Structure 1
Amino acid sequence: MVDRAGMTRALVARTAPAARGSEQVRRLQTWLLGGLLALALMYTLYFARDILLPVCLAVLLALLLRPLVRLLHRLRLPEPLGAALILLLALGALGAGAGSVADPAVGWVERAPQVMETLQVRMSGLERTLAPARQATERLQRMTRTEANQREVVMRGPALADIILGKAQNFVAQGLGVVALTYFFLAFGKQSLRAVLTSLPRRDDRLHVSDIVQTVQVNITAYLATITLINAVLALVTAGIMWMLGVPSPLLWGAMAGLFNFIPYLGPAATTLVLFAVGVVSFDSWTQSLLPALCFIAVTSVEGNFLTPMIVGRRLTLNPIFVFATVLFWGWLWGIAGALLAVPILAVTKILCDATPPLRTVGALLGGMAREGEVKPL
């Protein structure tokens, strides 16, 4: 009699290693395909930044201004007209603010060579301390210097005026694109969303997607408005302190502090260095020279360690590791504009993950799950 059970066990024993090997190959292929997809996505984000950057900025601005358009709509003003009115008021306020700091900014740019010279003179003590290291470097350069009969090749880049002109043209074009996209998102975004919901076949799916969109929109708008208000207060406080200390162009440094504060860690650090340089070139004594930077450190420490966690932490908490990594990543990918948008993009991602059940694990990883009642529908 044939032992079929034994034959089956033998066959399974022979095929099991092959099955395990095949499963490992499939997993390896999945990881490799995922890595290639990530590289392709980064490649696309980098080379499409001139298109994607205005779109991202327009979406964030539309979310920030959407409550005002909704308020005007409740007052019987059509959304296209209300969007145009709110956008014009926002542009007017932005233009007035930029105009108030434009002349001081141009003046400081023109004084840049004098500022650098003054800094070198004031920091001469530090330079004397570093003199031995500089002399060692010069000796090393002399040892590795090429022979006199060899020609020195000098690489000349484009002129500074050409660089500034090209950047200005690109900035104006992207600015116009942001304004136009923001208007269309404000005026017709609701209609587009309604069309998407109507295309869904099941009523339960329409209600589910609508709840997620409303929840995400409410929480993102609240976060952006809160952060913008905090940074505006920081700008006013910094400008007031600089004015009381007698620092030239206090409005300029206040505006810079508020704008740079959108970039966690790196932004306040850059503002501190700038205020230190301004203090050194503006005052004779070291006590007065250090006061602007020290006062700003005190203000931004209170804001970063107490005010922002107390206000924003009730609705959204972000993991500092991911915050810093996100700033570095988007700053490397899109430059200063990417660094400014990094934290809002991370916040949008976390809120979206918290509102979507399959992605709540990712949301918890980005900063902790929202407590009951934190993420509430409209």
Structure 2
Amino acid sequence: MALIGLFSLAVLYTLYFARDLLLPVFLALLLSLLLRPLVKALRRLRVPEVVSAIALVVLLLAGLVGAAISLTEPATSWIQRAPVVVREMEFKLGDLRDSIESARRASHQIEQMAAAADDEAQAVIVRGPTLAEQVLTQTQVVVAQAFIVLVLLFFFLAGGRSMLEQVMGSMTNLEARIHYATIAGTVQKNIAVYLATVTLINTALGLATAGLMTVLGMPNPGLWGVMVTTLNFIPYLGSGVSLVVIGVVSALTFDDLLQIAAPPLAFLVLTAIEGNFVTPMIVGRRLTLNPIGVFLTILFWGWLWGIPGALMAVPILAVFKILCDAHKPLHPLGALLGGKPGT
């Protein structure tokens, strides 16, 4: 038990301190599982896997660059407006704004009294980086990691099948070779279908949100659609964050109470339909995850890797459950995580 505990602590330590290296690897693996069926389909058409991998990576890169070009300007505008947004929200909150101003005046008077008590004290103001500068720094990190993800994705798509065949070929026991080859095929198939289904559902929700925001007169509807698509990979929390952001933007954009309430209410109806009907009906037939397990997994990976970890938490849990379902000794753990063993 002591050895198991030490090993678990070592794994957590490695996952936490090596997150900058492991995050691109995990994301590239998930993307390769998502795109593997396309490579297989192209191979049946006698297209070499290297060519397929290059084509898919180039298409993915083009999509990312196009999205970045179209969304950078509105996103930067909202980031630069952050201080103004705070003041506008204070103004629209009315009485609460007056209370905040009173507290500020009282705080300012206390500061003046403290300064008068020590005439020789000199104020030193250290200016930290602005919000825009912090975002720019993080953007550079994200671009570097995205490049690593694309390179790894190419290698996984181009050489993943041959690597798996080499591993299977190294097994001398024919029965074990067949057993693990079957497991690998089952896991690949189920994970690819699950990831593709969830991605399509989230994309459809994002498009529907962008369309509704356009109809309701919200600014930058495409930006909110992309936000909803991305955050919806985090169950429960993602839709809540999207609802708050849409509500704040609506309050800053409109003056009439009905106009302010319309965008968040419309999004609430959309996400309720998606969460209670669409996703359970489509995804639930193949894979059902325990809500408690989902929530704990989001907390764990969010604590470990921040927002990227929270975004990948449920796909990682789905991968782990499918692995448990495909390996008979781990069926009880797979059942604990929810649903019946995958087929």
Q: TM-score, normalised by structure 2?
A: 0.91
**Cα distance in 1 for residues equivalent to 2:295 and 2:170:** 40
Partner of 1:221: 192
| RMSD (CA atoms) | 2.5
**Cα distance in 1 for residues equivalent to 2:133 and 2:101:** 37
Correspondence for 1:174 among 145, 155, 178: 145
Verify: 1:34 aligned to 2:4, yes or no.
Answer: yes
Indicate the percent of aligned positions where both proteins have the same amino acid.
49
1:1-378 alignment runs, 5 A limit: 30=1, 32-127=2-97, 148-149=117-118, 156=126, 158-160=128-130, 163-370=134-341, 375-376=342-343
The alpha-carbon distance between structure 1 residues 164 and 154, as it changes in their structure 2 partners (threshold 3 A), is farther
Could you report, residue by residue, the CA deviation over 1:88-131 in whole angstroms, capped at 9, with x for unpaired residues? 11222232233222221122222222222111101123445789
Could you report, residue by residue, the CA deviation over 1:143-173 in whole angstroms, capped at 9, with x for unpaired residues? xx89933969979474236644442332222
Could you report, residue by residue, the CA deviation over 1:160-215 in whole angstroms, capped at 9, with x for unpaired residues? 36644442332222111100000000000000000000000111111000000000
Q: SS of 2:337's equivalent?
A: helix
Gaps of 5+ in 1: 1-29
Answer with 159-168 or 234-243: which moved more: 159-168
The alpha-carbon distance between structure 1 residues 84 and 240, as it changes in their structure 2 partners (threshold 3 A), is same
**Cα distance in 2 for residues equivalent to 1:206 and 1:156:** 64
Give the conservation status (yes or no) of the 8 Å contact 2:169–2:177.
yes
- The one-letter amino acid of 1:159's match is P
**Cα distance in 2 for residues equivalent to 1:165 and 1:262:** 24
Give the conservation status (yes or no) of the 8 Å contact 2:27–2:149.
yes
**Structure 1 residue 292: Cα displacement:** 1.0
**Cα distance in 2 for residues equivalent to 1:366 and 1:157:** 48
Give the conservation status (yes or no) of the 8 Å contact 2:91–2:97.
no
Answer with 325-334 or 192-201: which moved more: 325-334
**Cα distance in 2 for residues equivalent to 1:197 and 1:155:** 64
Q: SS of 2:117's equivalent?
A: coil
The count of aligned residue pairs is 338
The alpha-carbon distance between structure 1 residues 281 and 34, as it changes in their structure 2 partners (threshold 3 A), is same
Could you report, residue by residue, the CA deviation over 1:45-68 in whole angstroms, capped at 9, with x for unpaired residues? 000001110000000000111111
The alpha-carbon distance between structure 1 residues 79 and 244, as it changes in their structure 2 partners (threshold 3 A), is same
- The one-letter amino acid of 1:148's match is A
The alpha-carbon distance between structure 1 residues 157 and 33, as it changes in their structure 2 partners (threshold 3 A), is farther
Q: SS of 1:367's equivalent?
A: coil
Could you report, residue by residue, the CA deviation over 1:296-355 in whole angstroms, capped at 9, with x for unpaired residues? 111101101111000000000001111111111111111111111000000000000000
Could you report, residue by residue, the CA deviation over 1:242-296 in whole angstroms, capped at 9, with x for unpaired residues? 0010001111111111111011111111111110110011001122112111111
Give the conservation status (yes or no) of the 8 Å contact 2:232–2:239.
yes
The alpha-carbon distance between structure 1 residues 152 and 358, as it changes in their structure 2 partners (threshold 3 A), is farther
Gaps of 5+ in 2: none
- The one-letter amino acid of 1:108's match is W
The alpha-carbon distance between structure 1 residues 147 and 320, as it changes in their structure 2 partners (threshold 3 A), is farther
